[in-house]
A and B are shown apart, each in its own frame.
Chain A
Amino acid sequence: MSGRFVRLGETGRAAVSFHVDARPVSALEGDTLMVAMLTSGDRLRQSEFGDGARSGFCLMAACQDCWVWTEEGTKLRACSTPAAEGLRIVTTEPGATWLNHP
């Protein structure tokens, strides 16, 4: 899958690798999780109201559209969390079930 974001510079940084939905992802040191995920893919999560893929909106920690989770269930705001070596990210809230969205 090609990325949504396009790198325009600052590509001489060290590589960082982590996992998204159990697949390995390669990013650069200093990337936010959002940039790391959207330079290698095109979405961060699914809207919990069933209206499609979401990929963030404000990038300034105000809209909360970019939540992703660690495999343990810790919620992370992808736009303000640095990508770090060894992270294991999931794009669906672990264990979350909604009565009206089985």
Chain B
Amino acid sequence: MAQPSIVVVGAGPAGVRAAQTLVAAGIRPVVIDEGRRAGGQIYRRQPEGFTRSHEALYGTEAKRARDIHETFDALIPQIDYRPETLVWHISGGHVWTVGADGAHRSVPYDVLILCTGATDRVMPVKGWNHAGTYSLGAAQIALKAQACAIGSKVVFLGSGPLLYLVAQQYVKAGANVAAVLNTAPASARIAALPRLAAQPGALWNGVMLTMALKRAGVAMHHGVTPIEIEGDAQNGVSAVAVRLANGREMRFDCDAVGMGHHLRPETQLADLARCEFAFDPAVRQWLPVRDADGRASVQGVYLGGDGARILGARSAEASGTLAALTALGDFGLPIVAGERQKLRRAIAGYDRFAKGLAQAFPWPVAQAAALPGDAIVCRCESISAGDLRAVVNETGAREANRAKALSRVGMGRCQGRYCGLAAAEVIAAEAGVPIETVGRLRGAAPVKPVAFCTANEPEAPAA
């Protein structure tokens, strides 16, 4: 039987393990990644010439990070690796890419394994458009990839495991952390303990993080309601004002804010590949359907890692491997019996832990409904909550894409990555409809801006 041409999109933990599995089966996959170096965001590598150790960069995950990096480096001669390359469209059995050289190429595939990863999920706060406001992931990348803090006095605001992790990494690296402000009540974490116990190691790491922050004397509060990121249009952030759980209002002076509420999958490519989506009430998001073995609803398309559902980096290694094994099996190639069952079991454990995280660090739905009218929802196009609500009320728009067309929320530079989920909550609250009926912003090509003048270089199908 002829070997299938397999394209893996993404070189984070899921993509690396998928590629490794394919190479072990004698396949030479095309691996396309936007990053300059493999590792994804979680195991993102610093540039050549930097000297910090894996232990300094990745802490408790150093061993896993090193293994992902070394595994991928060893794979490079055996794969068709295309770094710094964006997949901007999928159609007609091809992925459409633009590389660092600016040239367009279309790559045909029999099997497509999407390991597209995640970005921060962000709930807007009045003033989040001020310069000096970054996502939590951004704050971590500044440190990990560039050895910088995002400011000289930083407030971390929001919820999710990254909140404490980034704060602790900042403290350890010598940055000045003014406060860690969690929107989740302390009771939510206690209620989530039985599920979090599915990953005792990760739970323990989380406990150690908060203890380290306490020892360092960092101000930490639970159950806070953000009021405003204060500042001015030219000088940027100057303070964060919140209401504490006890009702008292407090301001924390700062020149930078790292904010976010855990992560959301990058699903645009699955959408363009025509994969079916389903609503997941636990995270209040529409996500691509993935069966227990990693198959999407479209034949030949497989989903690995956090690009389908946020289950974390460890799960991504398992689900990337599983997706590749399933693809091989579906193509009639031999795979080791029992291997997939083991992976499915591991993923079920990560799934239970992820449900615990969603419970411990809930998406603050009420914050969307309570956003002041002059608070910006869409940073790209500078559209306020009031503008969006006016569209809902004046035009009757109840659906995400209709509201986007009429308000421009989600139409700008980020294509709704950072405002889409919050905008859906604003629409649902204003219209008084369930969030699932608002739907999701459709993925549109190009998924990220590409230049008009890029040259097309059609690729001959592999012989």
Give residues in A with beta carbon < 8 Å to B: 4-13, 29-32, 35, 39, 42-43, 47, 49-65, 67, 75, 80, 82
Residues of B within 8 A of A (CB): 34, 36, 41, 46-52, 119-120, 129-135, 137-138, 141-143, 145-152, 173-175, 232-236, 255-256, 266, 376, 379-382, 413-414, 417-418, 448-449, 451
Q: In the complex, what residues of A have CB within 8 A of residue B41's CB?
A: 60
| CB pair A7 B138 closer than 8 Å | no
Q: A31 touching B418 by the CB < 8 A rule? A: no
Asked if B137 and A59 make an inter-chain contact with CB atoms under 8 angstroms apart, the answer reads yes
Set B130, B133, B381: member contacting A49, Cβ < 8 A: B381
What CA separation (Å) do A32 and B224 show in the bound complex? Answer: 34
User: Which secondary structure dominates chain A's binding surface?
Assistant: loop
Task: Report Cα–Cα, A47/B236, bound state, in Å.
Answer: 12
On whether the beta carbons of A43 and B131 are closer than 8 Å, the reply is: yes
Q: Is there an interface contact between A13 and B236, defined as CB atoms closer than 8 Å?
A: no
Cβ-defined contact, B413 with A31, below 8 A: no
CA distance A62 to B379 in the complex (A): 13
A55, closest chain B residue (CB): B131
Tell me if A8 and B418 are in contact (CB < 8 A): no
**A8-B175, A53-B233, A63-B379 given. 16 additional CB < 8 A pairs?**
A4-B151, A5-B148, A8-B149, A13-B49, A47-B129, A51-B382, A52-B234, A53-B235, A57-B133, A57-B138, A57-B379, A58-B138, A59-B137, A59-B141, A60-B138, A63-B413
Are B174 and A10 within 8 A (Cβ)?
no
On whether the beta carbons of A10 and B151 are closer than 8 Å, the reply is: no
Say how far B440's CB is from chain A's closest CB, in angstroms: 17
Q: Which 5 A-B pairs have the closest CB atoms?
A: A52-B233, A64-B413, A49-B382, A59-B138, A10-B147
| 14 A-B pairs in the complex with CB atoms less than 8 angstroms apart | A4-B150, A8-B175, A10-B51, A43-B234, A50-B382, A52-B130, A52-B232, A57-B135, A60-B119, A62-B417, A63-B380, A63-B417, A64-B448, A67-B413
Bound form: Cα–Cα A47–B382 in Å: 8
CB closest residue in chain A, given B84: A80
Question: B47–A82 contact, CB under 8 A?
Answer: yes
Interface contact tally, CB-CB below 8 A: 145
Known interface pairs A9-B173, A30-B50, A58-B120. Does A53 touch B137 (Cβ–Cβ under 8 Å)?
no
Smallest Cβ-Cβ distance to B146: which chain A residue:
A35
> How many Å lie between the Cα of A64 and that of B450 in the bound state?
11
Q: A12: which B residues are within 8 A, CB to CB?
A: 51
| CA gap between A41 and B445 in the complex, in Å | 35
Residues of A contacting B173 in the complex (Cβ-Cβ under 8 angstroms): 8-9
Q: Which residues of B contact A4 (CB under 8 A)?
A: 131-132, 150-151, 236, 255-256
B380 touches A64 (CB 8 A): yes
Cα of A10 to Cα of B138 in the assembled complex, Å = 19
Cβ-closest chain B residue relative to A2: B152
What is the CB-to-nearest-CB distance from A7 to chain B, in angstroms, rounded to a whole number? 6
Q: Given the known A-B contacts A4-B255, A8-B173, A52-B129, are A64 and B414 also in contact in the complex, defined by CB atoms under 8 Å?
A: yes
Contact of A35 among B131, B133, B142 (CB under 8 A): B142
The complex places the Cα of A52 from the Cα of B131 at a distance, in Å, of: 8
- Residues of chain A within 8 A (CB-CB) of B232 are 52
Report the nearest B residue to A63, measured CB to CB: B414
- A65 in complex: contacting residue of B175, B256, B414, CB < 8 Å: B414
A30, A42, A53: the one within 8 Å of B49 (CB): A30
Across the interface, do A58 and B418 meet the contact criterion of CB distance under 8 Å?
yes
Question: What residues on A are CB-neighbors of B233 within 8 Å?
Answer: 51-53
Q: Is the CB of B448 within 8 A of A58?
A: no
| Chain A residues within 8 Å of B256, by CB | 4
Contact A9 B52 (CB under 8 A): yes
Return chain A residues, CB-CB under 8 Å to B119: 58, 60, 62-63
**In the complex, which residues of chain B have a beta carbon less than 8 angstroms from the beta carbon of A54?**
131
CB distance from A35 to the nearest CB of B (A): 5
B142 touches A30 (CB 8 A): no
A95 to chain B, nearest CB (A): 14
A55 to nearest B CB, angstroms? 4
| Nearest A residue to B86, CB-CB | A61
Q: Quick one: closest A residue to B419, CB to CB?
A: A63
Distance between Cα atoms of A12 and B135 in the complex (Å) = 28
Chain B residue contacts of A65, Cβ below 8 A: 379-380, 413-414
**Which residue, B131, B133, B152, has most C-beta atoms of chain A within 10 A?**
B131
How many whole Å from B53's CB to the nearest CB in chain A?
12
Residues in A neighbouring B143, C-beta threshold 8 A: 8
A60/B141 in contact, CB under 8 A: yes
- With A and B bound together, what is the CA distance between A56 and B132 in angstroms? 8
Is A55 within 8 A of B132, CB to CB? yes
In the assembled complex, the Cα of A30 lies from the Cα of B146 at a distance in Å of 8
Closest beta carbon of chain B to A73's beta carbon, Å: 11
- B residues within 8 A CB of A31? 146
In the complex, residue of chain B having the shortest beta-carbon distance to the beta carbon of A74? B451
For A30, the closest partner residue in chain B by CB is B47
Residue pair B150, A62 in contact (C-beta under 8 Å): no
Cross-chain contact A8 with B141 (CB below 8 angstroms) = no
Instruction: List chain B residues, Cβ under 8 A from A62.
Output: 119, 266, 414, 417-418, 448
